[in-house]
Every structure is written in structure tokens, then in C-alpha cells.
Structure 1
């Protein structure tokens, strides 16, 4: 029995596994199709008459070739239709955004797309085999002349094997194919119908072991409403909302409600609770919900009846070589057909013009063999001009020419046909010799014909790593019971410490100098000798601990400053030198490196002149947490008290802006914005003429269409040339920005107005070049500071000209800003220029007089 089972497992199970791998789950390398997809397309081609067919009818015809029931065929056809490449759909085919299923097969219709008819089918180059019941012929693989597998993607789970090939952009595939044929480098990255953002840093060319991160596109409608307008690949709005609600139940994100307004395009409205940071909420959505997913590709295909793992670049190269071979085969077939037409046209012309059919011997022939022999003899002088040998079938075909054709025969038209076929054959020979150029033309023709339908929908960008502990909402409250030595979130009746999240770490400092980091929990025993407790932030070098400790029971007092940036959870550390009896006598935790001044009072002794001394922590360098510190005093200390709270000793925080992830950072990535102190702001100017100011918080989100981003300077004067859509003329204005946390336009109320030029040069010169009917005019040069005074950013500005403008550009300034002096010369007040009028109609000609 044991032998029988092992034999059954070895034979039957392996046969079943091989069948599932080869015939059901994994696509074929040659055409990029699974068997069910190939059979559906073959059945649709047999039915194709240019009109739509009921899906139920297509399913029925496919069952002649596919032995696995109508349900699997219908589902596969719906998936093909939803990919919007090979199948044109009519009716309710479901929604990939919401996950809604298609209507029943009897209600929906389909037909092959023009693209499918162009690149998928050619019976002359197709290899055929008998169907499963032997009654029909079906293709082994279809002669697809396009990397179909890369465009559609594929996913299948077989027995002990899976395949996951992500879809790529149609135009980029064609560009990569052309680049490969030209011997150039190329790179392919996934592109999804659902849009969103993708980080391909670890894509690994689609091979096993790689991964991509995909994010939903989230927009801020206002400070209380977020709109998810594009969802990650493989997710639906329903599953996305479900993940958001689960995160809400766990307290990871604070939301009031979620609305699903998805129709043709995705739109999920997330309404936040008042007082919740919208930027932090966006990060929390990425960290705790399906708004960010990780996908692991696995490019596995069938080739030579075996599964093969490869990269998408290799798959493209093989597909291009296969396309080149198919194009070469088609050219050979076209050449053979053209040669047959040329051969018979030449025979026909000689047969009719030489009136061979009127020969006495031909007419008196007593058998077909005699007639054929006579025609063959008469053709003998002309045989060297034919492209191939004259056969019996050729002569029989000549004898089938009807008398009506002979009577209407036109020698000139016959010569034209022969010349055209010779030219066609010559062109085919040229294309065969230059098959690479011919393949490039083929791919270019596909892009020209269909490329506009397939723009890139998924934006490639690098993602910043979102630390869950930084964006998790403080949904719990931490309490402490000092008498019993417990901390936790469940001690509701005890002393409140701070708000925290359920994934935070807590740092504990004890009076004997020990400290450690523990995970927050409902209840945990930590001891009764606690000195300080707070939420621990990993890699935080801005939080500085100022400490005075006694070294041993009767040792000296030391003062030290240090940061705790990273420790092992639950491991005990010591900020003292570790001697028994050591004790912390002063402790402060300073979130921005503040340094206080202490008053140290001594125990009075005879002949002691000074009973107290002041010590400033700002005079002590910040060192590692294991450092000994500086000796505070050698005298016996009576007490230590706070004399004065000091400021930060860390100075301003240097801030950079990373355009790849559209975030601020403090790590030196991207453009340096400057050193920011407490109240300093960031100025953000958008390409559409809007601006706003923000804090320098690293959690801020920014729009991708940023024109300028820098440290906000309230007194900086900006010069802007704009096209006023209301007036229809270009205007110039000078202004300073005002702090605002919401977007405001400095181009006016008309949304059609557009920004032409923007500069922060103190004394810019603007050149206006005229166009259209005014192109003969000399360019107008404007000294902006003399042309218009500095006003508010909402001011209309001053019209530059009424003539047609071709270009407005900035010239090198003739003067620079003078250094500011603290001394004011009152005599200079009399030399100030008079304010010019800003009336745009002062000069109705449109040409401004500068001096």
C-alpha cells in the first residue's frame, strides 16, 4: 500500500502539477498568453465580422477549445476586456476601481480591438494543433508581434509555482524595443491603470527578490478633508476604505467619516476630526492602511514546455527577437506571393500576346497532354525570363483563362502590373536585408497609431520612509502609580503622564542614574525610584538631558549633557560612573537643547568666603551618554536650584528640501533652504501663481508643481510679469509676500491669468519682445524699480504694453542692492525720486516712456 501511494504521488501528482503549470496558470513566453486567453482570442477571431458579439456567444464558441467550463472563460474574458488593449467592450464590464463585477455574459458584448487585429493574428505564420477533442484546430501560440505580456501583466498561482508580472506602459515598451534594436540601454518600470505613485528603487528588473512600493494619490481639499483620487495597484476603493476604518478602530488615525464618491474616477473623501494635522494624517494613511502596499514581482514564463524565471528586460529582448523573426517570415511569405503573381502575369502576357491558344497544333490536340506539351514547347524561348520554372500546373492555369479576359486583355496594364510586382519584390528584398530598420518602423507605426491612448498613469518617484511611531496618533494615555511602581495605559485612576500611541517606546530614568527604554503596555512594573518618564524618539539628537549626579555615596558632583539617540529595548544603562550609592541630584529633559543656569548652595564651613555659585549648562559640551562629565564643585553641596532658564544651545536647524519625495528633511538631502529657528517659515511658490508659507516641520507635504521654495524673508521684494486674462495684456508688479498658511494667488482673481516671469533680483531689468503684427517694433526694456512701486501681492500691477508680445525675459541688472547702513543721512531725503503713477492708461499707445 505504501508503495502504491508513493507511486501515485510520484506519477499522478507530478502530472497534475505539470498540467496546471503549463496549461492553466503561467503565460507562454512566445505570445504572453495563458491557454484560456489564447483560446478566447482565437474564438473571437473566428467570429469577427467587425460587429460586437454577446459574451455568452463568445464563451460558447471558446468551449470548443477550452475544456474547463464557461465560468472560467467568462472571468478570463472580463479580465482581458478590463485591461483595455485587445478587447473592445460594450455594456457593464465592472469597475477595477471599486471591484464591482461585470454584468452577466448575456448582457454584455465584445469584439477584437484594431490593435489586436494588427499585432496578434496571422494564420499564415501560426502553428496549429488539434483541440482537446480532435474536432477543431487551435493555435499552439499566436504570432504576436508585440511584448503583450509586459503591457498586460500576468498573475497566476500553480502547484508549487507562481508568476506575477506587473503591467508596463505601452509607449515605454515600444521605446525600449526600439532602443534594444539600436543597441541602446533601456529601463522599464511598471505602470498601472489605477494610477498612483510607485517607488522602483528595489524593482530588480522584475526578477524574483525584487519589490516595488505603490502609494495612493492623496490630495488635500482643505485642512479637514483629504481626497484619495488614485488607488494602489491590486486594491479597490472598498478594500481601501475597509483598511482605513480598521486603522481608525485601532486608533492609528483620527477621522470623522469616510465617503466613497467613486464613479469613472476614484474619489474617497476622508474627513478628519478638527484639530488633526492633515499632513500627519496623510503619513498615517500610508503607514497604517492599504494606501501604501508593497508588491513583489516574479517574472515566470513558459518556454520549451518548462517554466523559466527571467527579468522584464530579458523578456522584452526575447519578444523583440520573436517579433523580428515573425516580420521576416511575413516578408518571405509576401515575397513568395508577389513572385507568384509576377510569374503568372508574365506567362499570361506571353500566352495571350503570342496567340498560343490560336496555334493549329494547340487546337488540333487530341488530348490534354498534347496541348500542354505544345504550350510548353512554345514557351521554351521565354523561359529564361521567368523567375522560376514553368510547371504543368502553370500551363493548366493558362488553359483556364476565359475568352472574355483574352478579348479584354490590355498589354499596357499587364506591363504596369509586372513592373509594380517587380518593384514590390525589390522593396521586400530591401526590407529583408534591413530587417532591424523594418522592425523599428513597425514599432514606430504602432506608437503613432495607438500610443496616444496610453499615457503613463503611475508616477515614478522615490518614497521617504515613514516611521510609524512618528505618525501614529496619540490614541492612548500613559499613567504611573509611583507608590507601587507601575506604569501603563490601563491605570486610569493613577497619575497622568502624557499622551502616546500603542506602538510607542517609553524611556525611564531612575534616581540612581539607571535608565532604559521599554515598550508601552497596559500595565508594567518598572520600580518605585523613577525620576523621569517620557515617550522615546529614536535618533532624536535635539532632545538633550542636563544632569548633575553624585559619584558614589560621598564622591564629587559632576554635571553633563547628553542625548539618547538609540538603545536596545529593555536593556539597562547607567548615566553615572557606576559606583554604588551614586545619585542624580539634578535632571532636566530639553526638547531643543535648552541649557539652564543652576544656583549651587554649599554647606557652610569655617573661613568659607562664598556660600553659593552659579553654573551654566551652556558652558558644557554635549557628549556621549557614557561620558563622565565635568566636575561641578569639590565643596559639599547643600542644595541645587534653578536660577535661570536658558535658550537652545543647538542653534537653528538646517533644513533641506528633497524634490524626489517632496518633503523637508534635516539629513542634507536635496536643496539647502537655510538654518531655521523657532518662528522661521518656508515660502512655497507654485507654477500656477499661488503661494503659501509653512513651518519647517519634516512631516509637511508639498505639491509637485513647485516653482520656488526657500526660507521666507518678509522684506524680500519680488518682481512678477504676468498675463492678465481679464484685461488681455501683460502686467508688471512688485510686492512682498505676507505669511499665510493657505494658498493664495498673486496673479489676481481670474484663474486663466498666467505667470510669465518671476525674479527676486533687487533691481531687475525686463525685456519685452514684440510678436505678430508688432514684430517690427524694437524690444522694450523696463527698469522694474523705476517702472512701478512696491505694493501688496494682491495689487493689480501696471500694464507693460498693449502690443502683441512674443517673449518677456530678464536681463542682467545695471545696479546692485547697496549694503544697508545703520546711519541715516537726512539730506538724502530730499533726493528721493517722486512716486510715479501706476495708472495703466497713462500712455494709451501702450509703449511706456522710461525716462
Structure 2
């Protein structure tokens, strides 16, 4: 349109036109002889675009350049029509072009992983330190450090803080730089929502009755900044003893009564493990009617809660109770976790669910820590380019600290680690000058003895090792050693039993039914007549064959001989065809 409008000088026909509508009609008439050249109808908008062309562009119009542009447009149009007729070939060529353009050197760097819901309070790091002024009743991470200030623990900006006072009141509040939670604070710590394993042991005197009560309770749910009565709420009530136990531990305390009391025994022990764990509003059990002067800690006991089953989620590197990932074990009290990473570090931690470990298969071994177990490890030394094996026991006791037990050269990495009593690996070895690989299974106990955790270890093989992988352990059948014979005996007995069930003996007159329902031997014919039966001779009791082979006669040691059985023929015996199960 622009080429025709400028080259045919149609713009000159509108110089003397007075109205805009007439201008549009004039241009349309000027283009009428050329409308057959276009693929579609010329619209009013097309004419308006022509009228907006500047004079400067008209004076510098390049006809040759316009012709070249038109040729390119016509060529692209033909290609497009061809692609529409051959869509399959076009699609293949399109994706091949993508591979050539964005393939080599442009590999994907992002990773596709599964997501899980994350609670911010569980993953935030401990970036603050919690302090308390028990006398004045202030708690926070910005308290002035003086003689009255006491460090409690490390915490984060999102944690909730619980404070239990001497008047029997409990209060939970969001941590701040400085917050007042009441004077005479007995206990302060980080409160975790839904934590039913945090158990508080409390002894208090009721201000109304004067009796002393003991109780064990948990506080898994609360309302922030609301005071809760841990006693009966009566005035002048007093807390004598309080302990917070993260894993439901109990203890024995020594109760000392007032000297003015009329009780004969003024000092006695009380065991918290005898109490059930109830809610915070429970009154508790009465331990004495007399006034109490003091309660002292005497002896600690283990947890009264069942062991905590934990799993390790390799995707997130976190412990959980939701059965996600690998089962780690059952934990009680002071149990610890051993974690070994691919970088050759081991670390001993508590079984706190907030602990973090290396995710995405970077943690090679994680299990319940047993200091007596021997760790067998195979690692690749980055300097010598050889595989080494070492066996050692954990000698350090510092928790939450990484200890490196392999060489620190660039490229060194841990390939295998186990605490199994039979540490076996499968390795691919290249022997001689050939390139053929041989697979060998070796027991690490045969290569090296137990040494210190800082030792280098022995070379895994004198030949070139290309790959190391653990030997696949057979599935646990639940049988102990020697159970193969039991399996064979069971199968043999079952087959014997099936034979007994199928066989139905036929009994003639005057004959006694076989006690065990045995299949009789074939009768021997003499001159076409059955042989006469010989009188039975008493035989010693024989042991039943363990593998279920049929004997001519099977007798139990607890049963009498056949002659004795005839004397007791009046007693009720076994019916024909009945199956009898014997314990061998």
C-alpha cells in the first residue's frame, strides 16, 4: 500500500479536498485499480495509516528497498504455506533446531524436587540468647548483663517463652528484647507447640487446705499472654519443687516437713515415676497433710514415656515422627544420633527434631549412636587417586561438632560407611594392562584391623579400583541361625500331614485301627494266598525322622507297645482316618 500510495502519487489527489471524509474516499478511489494485487480487502484503517505517513518519509522513499522487502515477505509466505502442508516435518525440524541451539553447553542447572510444608519456627536458626532476671521477673535477649541476669539457652526471634512462677502461675509469651513475666520465676525456657514429651514435675502446697500435692503434667497447647493456674488457684499457695523434663524423665525428691509438725517421720522420699502424666489443670496426688518446709532433689530416673520412633527424611535432611524416609530407631532419654556425611565428617547429636543434617544423599549413614560399634569406611583419596579402607570407633564426646576422618585433599570423598558386624563391599577392579573389569566382593575385616579414627587406613586393593558399592543385604526372613533345618522339617511334616489326611484306612473285622493312620505295606502273596501275619515283637521306641521319610513303623516314646495297647483296648482310642499332630 505504501509503495503504490507513494510511487503512483495518490497523495497529490487530496491536496484540494476540503473534508476528511472526502479525503478517505479519494484515496480509496486512487487505490481501486490496484486492489486485485492484495490478499485481503483494503479497510478504512489501512487508508488512515497511509494518511499518517510524514512528508519526510515520502521524499526519501527508496523504491528498491521496498521491492526487496516485498520479495522477502512473499518468500516467507510461501515457506509458511509449505510448513502448514507438512506440519510433522516442520515440528521435527523445529525441535531439532532447539537441540542444536540450546543443547550442548546449556544443560539444565535447576533441579526438580518434591516440596513439603515448612513451619518457619522449625527451620529458623538460633540467632539469639535468652536471659532471665528471676528476681525482677524480666525475660528477653536484650537484658542488661549483671549479677541478676542468668543465661538460659539459645533461641530464635520466632520462639515462644514459658515462665512458671513461685505463686503457681504459668505464662507463655512471644520472645522479645525485654518482657515482664512476673517476679520470682522458677522456670523459664523455650515452649514448643504440640510437644507432649515435655513433662513438668511439680510439688505445691494449697493455701486453703494446707495439704501438699504432687503432679506431672504437659502443656502442649496454650493461649499466649494468658496466666494459667498450676495449683488450685487458692491464695497463699506455694510451689516447693519444679522440674522441666524434655523427654518425660522422673526423679526422686526428698520432702522435709516443718519441725513444728506432729508427724513422726519428718523426712521422706517421693518418687515422681509413680504418678501418671495428666493435664495442667489436674489437682495432683496428696503426699502429706503436714506443712512442708523444703523439697530437695535426690535421685534422677529415666523417662517414663515410651521410646520415640524417628525417621530421617533425605529430601529435607530433618528428623520426623511422621514415618517419612528411613527409619532411624527408637530413642529414650540420653540416646544420641550418629550422622556420617559424604565429605568424610561424623557428628554426634541429640535426637531433637530441630536438628538439621545434610540432605539429598549427602548423609551416607544416620543411626542410633552406639559407642561400642565399629565404623567401617571406604574413601577415595583425592591426592593419590586411590581407595582406602579404615575401621575405627568413636573416641570423641563433644556433641554437635563435625570431625573429619578422611584425608583433606581436594577431591577426597567418602564412598561407603557402615556399623555392620559383617562389612562387605562389591568393587570393580582392573587388573593388568587390559581394560576388562572384574567384580570382587571383599570383607573389610580381612583388610584392616580396628585403629584410631585419625589413621589413614590401608589401601583397598593393589589394582586399580573403578567403582565401590555396598553388597545388597538379603531380605530379612525373620529366622535365626539354624532355621533352615526347621523350614525343611516344617515342609516335610506338612507333606506327611497331607498324606495322612488323604489316606483313609480300611479296617477289617477283628483288626485294630492304626493309631497313626499309616498307610499299610503291600501284602506279599505266597502261592496266590496272602502270607500269614507273624506275631509282633516288642521293639524299642524309635525317633521320628526329622525330614519326614516314611518308616515302616512310627511309635512315640510316650505310647506303649502294641501288646500293652491290647490290654487297654476297652479305652477309647483314635478313630480311623483321624490326623494326629506330633511335636518332634
Give the shorter-chain TM-score range: 0.5 to 0.7
Contact 1:481 1:494 in 2 (8 A): no
Partner of 1:774: 434
Q: Distance in 2 between matches of 1:473 and 1:132?
A: 70
Partner of 2:296: 642
1:708 aligns with 2:371: no
Alignment of 1:389-400 (within 5 A): none
Task: Name the structure with the higher helix share.
Answer: 1
1:534 aligns with 2:188: yes
Alignment of 1:318-333 (within 5 A): 333=78
* Partner SS for 1:495: coil
Contact 2:132 2:149 in 1 (8 A): yes
Contact 2:256 2:268 in 1 (8 A): yes
Partner of 2:251: 596
Partner of 2:494: none
Contact 1:479 1:498 in 2 (8 A): no
Partner of 2:402: 742
Contact 1:597 1:617 in 2 (8 A): yes
Q: How many residues align?
A: 399
Contact 1:480 1:494 in 2 (8 A): no
* Partner SS for 2:315: coil
Contact 2:164 2:188 in 1 (8 A): no
Alignment of 1:400-411 (within 5 A): none
1:473 aligns with 2:218: no
Partner of 1:795: 456
* Partner SS for 1:448: helix
1:334 aligns with 2:102: no
Contact 2:252 2:270 in 1 (8 A): yes
Where does the alignment leave 5 or more consecutive residues of structure 2 unmatched? 1-38, 40-44, 59-73, 481-584
Alignment of 1:231-242 (within 5 A): none
Q: What is the deviation of 1:560?
A: 0.6
Q: What is the deviation of 1:738?
A: 3.9
Q: What is the deviation of 1:582?
A: 4.3
* Partner SS for 1:596: strand
Cα distance change, pair 776–566 in 1 and its aligned pair in 2 (3 A):
closer
Contact 1:770 1:807 in 2 (8 A): no
Give CA deviations for 1:126-166 in whole Å, capped at 9, x if unaligned.
xx9869964589xxxxxxxxxxxxxxxxxxxxxxxxxxxxx
Q: What is the deviation of 1:446?
A: 0.4
- Superposition TM-score, scaled by structure 2 size: 0.54
Give CA deviations for 1:291-327 in whole Å, capped at 9, x if unaligned.
xxxxxxxxxxxxxxxxxxxxxxxxxxxxxxxxxxxxx
Contact 2:340 2:366 in 1 (8 A): yes
Contact 1:596 1:642 in 2 (8 A): no
1:447 aligns with 2:106: no
Contact 1:715 1:736 in 2 (8 A): no
Contact 1:481 1:487 in 2 (8 A): no
1:435 aligns with 2:180: no
Partner of 1:751: 410
Contact 2:339 2:363 in 1 (8 A): no
Q: Distance in 1 between matches of 2:417 and 2:182?
A: 63
Partner of 1:684: 340
Q: What is the deviation of 1:644?
A: 0.6
* Partner SS for 2:128: coil
Partner of 2:349: 695
Alignment of 1:201-350 (within 5 A): 333-334=78-79
Where does the alignment leave 5 or more consecutive residues of structure 1 unmatched? 1-123, 138-328, 337-427, 820-851
Q: Distance in 2 between matches of 1:331 and 1:632?
A: 98
Q: Distance in 2 between matches of 1:658 and 1:567?
A: 29
Q: What is the deviation of 1:595?
A: 2.6
- Superposition TM-score, scaled by structure 1 size: 0.39
User: Which one has the largest radius of gyration?
Assistant: 2
Q: What is the deviation of 1:574?
A: 1.5
- Pick one of 785, 788, 791 that aligns with 2:445: 785
Contact 1:504 1:535 in 2 (8 A): no
* Partner SS for 1:636: coil
Cα distance change, pair 566–790 in 1 and its aligned pair in 2 (3 A):
same
Q: What is the deviation of 1:556?
A: 3.8
1:617 aligns with 2:272: yes
Contact 1:734 1:788 in 2 (8 A): yes
Cα distance change, pair 700–449 in 1 and its aligned pair in 2 (3 A):
same
Partner of 1:570: 225
- Pick one of 277, 280, 285 that aligns with 1:630: 285
Q: What is the deviation of 1:502?
A: 7.2
Cα distance change, pair 666–438 in 1 and its aligned pair in 2 (3 A):
same
Q: What is the deviation of 1:699?
A: 4.1
Q: Distance in 2 between matches of 1:757 and 1:527?
A: 55
Cα distance change, pair 439–478 in 1 and its aligned pair in 2 (3 A):
same
Contact 2:425 2:468 in 1 (8 A): no
Q: What is the deviation of 1:655?
A: 4.3
Alignment of 1:20-169 (within 5 A): 134=53
* Partner SS for 2:91: helix
Q: What is the deviation of 1:703?
A: 6.0
Q: Distance in 2 between matches of 1:798 and 1:438?
A: 58
Q: Distance in 2 between matches of 1:775 and 1:656?
A: 43
Q: Distance in 2 between matches of 1:526 and 1:807?
A: 62
Cα distance change, pair 453–518 in 1 and its aligned pair in 2 (3 A):
same
Q: What is the deviation of 1:547?
A: 1.2
Cα distance change, pair 644–445 in 1 and its aligned pair in 2 (3 A):
same
- Pick one of 421, 429, 443 that aligns with 1:762: 421
Contact 1:767 1:781 in 2 (8 A): yes
| CA RMSD across the alignment | 4.9
Cα distance change, pair 504–467 in 1 and its aligned pair in 2 (3 A):
closer
Q: What is the deviation of 1:783?
A: 4.6
* Partner SS for 1:641: strand
* Partner SS for 1:645: strand
Give CA deviations for 1:162-211 in whole Å, capped at 9, x if unaligned.
xxxxxxxxxxxxxxxxxxxxxxxxxxxxxxxxxxxxxxxxxxxxxxxxxx
